[in-house]
Amino acid sequence: DTAVSQTPKYLVTQMGNDKSIKCEQNLGHDTMYWYKQDSKKFLKIMFSYNNKELIINETVPNRFSPKSPDKAHLNLHINSLELGDSAVYFCASSPTPSGGRKTQYFGPGTRLLVL
Amino acid sequence: GDSVTQMEGPVTLSEEAFLTINCTYTATGYPSLFWYVQYPGEGLQLLLKATKADDKGSNKGFEATYRKETTSFHLEKGSVQVSDSAVYFCALNTGNQFYFGTGTSLTVIP
């Protein structure tokens, strides 16, 4: 009974390639997020979408492009991969309850290694 | 701006020891506060949360109280187990933004 799922779980690729990571949530949430976690476990927000509309777009190289075909999906496409892109990428989702109090639910992560 | 500061790790404890991981926050307005736990090789899981001052969140023997006067949300557990070994993240939510601390790695040894 998966809540937030990501594919693939592991991704090993060469520098310069283009790759995509997919995220789906079956929780009926309105908002989805992408985070990058580095080797020191530091979490950095990258993007957030609410009902398919981009609402958070942090300082991220424009090689990273999110796409939300519907509110249950938020995919991340990365062009011209670089060594520094190696990290764990987490998708998350949250509802929009009354009063605006949100809780995030995370996917299992995609471990990207760029060689 | 809004932010979360949590205790630097790593923390190593013996089984059954008392755990405290400190977390303080800076926020305008009235944020919700969270502790997330990340077990090795897994994603972040919500451990507990509190949405207003003096609320106490609790789960699996862990507790944290939302203290507005000290802007803190310290995580405590009376008796840790080896299975509690993980990275713990303090976080706050205001509006659309979530802010995470840098994580505290906990290792519990038998």
pLDDT bin (cut points 50, 70, 90) of residue B94 is: confident
Mean pLDDT of B44-63: 95
Mean pLDDT of B38-61: 94
Which pLDDT does position A89 carry in this prediction?
97
Contact A104 B89 (CB under 8 A): no
Whether the per-residue pLDDT at B96 is higher than 80: the answer is no
Query: Which of A73, A43, A101 minimizes the C-alpha distance to B38?
Result: A43
Judging contacts by C-beta atoms under 8 Å, the chain B residues touching residue A40 are: 102
For residue A56, give the nearest of B97, B100, B103 by CB distance.
Answer: B97
- The phi and psi torsions of B96 (rounded to 5 degrees) equal -90, -10
The CA distances from residue B90 to A3, A42, B69, B72, in Å, are 22, 12, 18, 10
Which pLDDT does position B55 carry in this prediction?
95
Whether the per-residue pLDDT at A98 is higher than 70: the answer is no
CB neighbour class for B71 (10 Å; exposed up to 12, middle 13-18, buried from 19) = middle
Which pLDDT does position B22 carry in this prediction?
97
Give how far B36 is from chain A: nearest CA, Å.
Answer: 10
CA–CA separation, A14 and B97 (whole Å): 33
Tell me the per-residue pLDDT of A17-70, one tens digit each, with 9 for 90 and over: 999 999 999 999 989 999 999 988 899 999 998 888 888 888 889 999 999 999
Q: Answer for the pair A11, A110: CB distance below 8 angstroms, yes or no.
A: yes
For residue A108, give the nearest of B43, B93, B98 by CB distance.
Answer: B43
Which pLDDT does position A112 carry in this prediction?
97
Judging contacts by C-beta atoms under 8 Å, the chain B residues touching residue A41 are: 38, 87, 102-103, 105
CA–CA separation, B107 and B110 (whole Å): 10
- The phi and psi torsions of A98 (rounded to 5 degrees) equal -65, 145
CA–CA separation, B85 and B88 (whole Å): 9
Query: Which of B28, B23, B29 minimizes the C-alpha distance to B49?
Result: B23
For residue A90, give the nearest of B43, B51, B93 by CB distance.
Answer: B43
Whether the per-residue pLDDT at B102 is higher than 60: the answer is yes
Contact A90 B105 (CB under 8 A): no
Q: What does pLDDT average to over chain B? A: 94
Which pLDDT does position A1 carry in this prediction?
62
- The phi and psi torsions of A51 (rounded to 5 degrees) equal 50, 50
Mean pLDDT of B14-18: 97
CA–CA separation, A115 and A112 (whole Å): 10
Contact B46 A105 (CB under 8 A): yes
Judging contacts by C-beta atoms under 8 Å, the chain A residues touching residue B44 are: 43, 90, 92, 106
Give the pair of three-digit tokens for residue A39: 């080797």
Which residue has 């802010």 as its token pair? B99
CA–CA separation, B99 and B94 (whole Å): 9
